């Protein structure tokens, strides 16, 4: 890693709350990052653990279920993301329209070639949740099948995605280890008038997206923003242009917010240092915010598998130094090479904290992506 690379990685790690003072609440972490990759339940929770202090998995469950302050939905790139409930509607209106065509195509591939049949399924989902929600995916599937609509293969997931893209449903409370579905209007209240499609100001939303993205990912390029959000490059450029007066003048051509920017109070703006050794979960946001992962992964690109899985890994000196797993409830580290004693000791201590964090709460299975997400299975097959 060159000195410039190390400096940029250090700045990004600070923006990601991986260095400097830790956040106190899950809401603070998600506010800073705006959207946390959420299709792997354990990975999403571990992303919050690595950026906070004293929390447990049960705290995230409570925010999802009792407080309703966090919500998971298909947003950026056709991928499930964990966001603050107050950020849901504008992100939904901004990022989901590009997914509609891909959703229709995938439904046709799954044997649902008629928009009328797909919309009938959405109506069945809406009625079932209105009468008996929250419902798990299997329970929703039973209602759709009872209406004579195909749910085999991946048809059910894409029908749920259609209902989500149309703003009808969202993931609500945890029921055991299952993340149940609810009607958005029942869970979060009516859609605010300013987020109705006819009144939605896309330019204002793009400016807010650029601002909030840089708060948790800066410094970054316009292409980084476009890839992370799953939006056209022209939109990313428009958003950054709208906040040009708020940006730093950098020699490297990257964009970042200037002094006095609206960041979490835990973020240090000057003299960013590389974070201490830390265990990061699968699909950690540090690997999803930019077009190039090599500043963190180097040659260790195998952390991202051929079928699009992002393995848990250990970070030290701003670089991935190991992968890790959790057999029989214990952290098993697989270093890429010999590690300094101090790094091993720090990772051992962090492993104890991982076990503490996961000892409460309910963590379900990994959920699918759809459409043209960067890590989706070739052909858009859900995983």
When computed from its CA atoms, the radius of gyration of the chain, rounded to whole angstroms, is 21
On whether the CB atoms of residues 184 and 374 are closer than 8 A, the answer is: no
Distances (CA, A) of 213 to 77, 80, 285: 14, 17, 12
Show the tokens assigned to 48.
């919050």
CA distance 20 to 8: 15
Show the tokens assigned to 164.
């989500």
Nearest residue to 355 via CA among 335, 334, 339, 332: 332
Q: Where are the domains of the chain?
A: 278-380
pLDDT in tens, the chain (383 residues): 444 477 899 999 999 999 999 999 999 999 999 999 999 999 999 999 999 999 999 999 999 999 999 999 999 998 999 999 999 999 999 999 999 999 999 999 999 989 999 999 999 999 999 999 899 999 999 999 999 999 999 999 999 999 999 999 999 998 888 889 999 999 999 999 999 999 999 999 999 999 999 999 999 999 999 999 999 999 999 999 999 999 998 999 999 999 644 444 333 344 578 999 999 999 999 999 999 999 999 999 889 886 788 999 999 999 999 999 999 999 999 999 999 999 999 999 999 999 999 997 666 555 555 443 333 332 333 22
CA distance 216 to 20: 13
CA distance 247 to 258: 5
On whether the CB atoms of residues 35 and 81 are closer than 8 A, the answer is: yes
Q: pTM of the prediction?
A: 0.89
CA distance 332 to 334: 7
Contacts of 251 (CB under 8 A, 6+ apart): none
Count Cβ neighbours within 10 Å for each residue of 175-189 and write b for 16 or more, e otherwise: eeebbbbbbbbebbe
Show the tokens assigned to 303.
């952390």
Strand 178-183 relative to strand 278-280: parallel, antiparallel, unpaired?
unpaired
Helix (H, G, I), strand (E, B) or coil at 223: helix
On whether the CB atoms of residues 312 and 279 are closer than 8 A, the answer is: yes
């Amino acid at each position: 890693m060159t000195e410039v690379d190390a400096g940029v990685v250090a700045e990004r790690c600070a923006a990601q709350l991986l260095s400097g003072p830790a956040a106190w609440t899950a809401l603070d972490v998600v506010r800073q990052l705006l959207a946390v990759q959420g299709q792997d339940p354990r990975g999403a929770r571990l992303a919050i653990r690595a950026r906070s202090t004293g929390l447990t998995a049960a705290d995230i469950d409570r925010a999802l279920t009792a407080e309703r302050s966090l919500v998971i939905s298909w947003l950026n790139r056709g991928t499930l993301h964990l966001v603050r409930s107050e950020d849901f509607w504008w992100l939904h209106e901004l990022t989901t329209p590009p997914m509609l065509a891909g959703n229709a195509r995938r439904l046709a591939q799954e044997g649902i070639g008629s928009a009328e049949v797909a919309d009938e399924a959405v109506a069945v989902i809406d009625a079932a949740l209105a009468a008996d929600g929250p419902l798990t995916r299997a329970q929703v599937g039973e209602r759709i099948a009872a209406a004579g609509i195909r749910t085999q293969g991946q048809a059910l997931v894409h029908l749920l995605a259609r209902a989500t893209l149309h703003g009808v449903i969202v993931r609500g409370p945890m029921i055991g280890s299952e993340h149940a579905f609810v009607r958005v209007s029942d869970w979060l209240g009516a859609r605010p008038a300013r987020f109705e499609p006819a009144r939605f100001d896309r330019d204002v939303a793009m400016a807010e997206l650029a601002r909030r993205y840089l708060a948790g990912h800066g410094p970054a390029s316009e292409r980084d923003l476009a890839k992370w959000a799953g939006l056209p490059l022209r939109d990313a450029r428009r958003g950054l242009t709208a906040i040009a007066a708020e940006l730093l003048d950098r020699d490297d051509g990257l964009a970042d917010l200037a002094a006095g920017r609206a960041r979490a109070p835990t973020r240090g703006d000057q003299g960013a240092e590389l974070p201490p050794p830390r265990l990061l979960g699968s699909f950690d946001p540090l690997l999803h915010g930019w077009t190039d992962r090599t500043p963190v992964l180097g040659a260790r690109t195998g952390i991202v598998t051929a079928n699009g899985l992002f393995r848990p890994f250990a970070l030290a000196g701003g670089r991935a130094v190991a992968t890790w797993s959790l057999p029989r409830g214990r952290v098993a580290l697989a270093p890429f090479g010999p590690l300094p004693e101090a790094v091993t000791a720090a990772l051992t201590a962090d492993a104890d904290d991982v076990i503490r964090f996961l000892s409460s709460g309910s963590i379900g299975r990994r959920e699918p992506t759809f459409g043209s997400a960067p890590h989706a299975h070739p052909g858009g097959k859900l995983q």
